[in-house]
Copies of this chain bind each other. A is one copy, B any other.
């Protein structure tokens, strides 16, 4: 059931007043339990029932702190944004750091790749991250700040989704990284053998193969170079 005071989002709606005894529960503990579950067993393992069991509590207890499972996911995402803080001097270092710390957060929480970019992020931690970025971008033309940050965010979102998707496929296929990169799996080998995709096959066969780190950084460099050219104008 939706909260009666309409227009209030999870983050600004107060938690229910702490009851004297019944059980030490809080949004923070709920979110922590959900994140623990997701880290270990993946996002599919995050059900309200399992989170509740993790906390020795009936499933419906959670609805005092949350209206919807989606709200729990929003809280989880915002918690991860709390781990993302860009550091460095100058726009380039700041943006690079923003991208790299986000990517590292995804490595700590693979499920984050499934959620990132899926909803507008307006939680306190996401906003604090935005504040940190924007205020570190002091020297940049005001009208360019948002587009530039949006572009970097977009690149990071897509890049980490691709990276995690590929990592999972590798893991599922049980091949080691070298094999996977060389052949992209027996399926692709067979498919390329049909000769239907000659240009693609040539690139896969003959071109240099970058690992995930290198690919991410190279793409990021493209983007930052382009941004730099624009800022210098």
Contact = CB atoms under 8 A, between A and B. Distances in A.
Nearest to A137: B199
Give the size range of A's interface with the partner.
35 or more
Interface in A45-65: none
Contact of A207 (B9, B142, B188, B203): B142
Interface in A117-143: 117-120, 122, 127-128, 130-131, 134-135, 138, 142-143
A180 to B, nearest CB: 10
A223 B128 CA distance: 26
A224 B230 CA distance: 12
Contacts of A87: none
Contacts of A153: 158, 162
A88 interface: no
Copies in the complex: 2
A157 B161 contact: yes
A7 B165 contact: no
Interface in A138-177: 138, 142-143, 145-148, 150-151, 153-159, 161-162, 165-166, 168-169
Interface of A: 7-9, 12, 114, 116-120, 122, 127-128, 130-131, 134-135, 138, 142-143, 145-148, 150-151, 153-159, 161-162, 165-166, 168-169, 184, 186-188, 190-191, 196-200, 202-204, 206-210, 215, 218-219, 221-227, 229-230
Given A128-B196, A150-B215, A226-B227, 8 more contacts: A120-B165, A122-B184, A122-B188, A131-B200, A147-B210, A155-B155, A221-B226, A226-B229
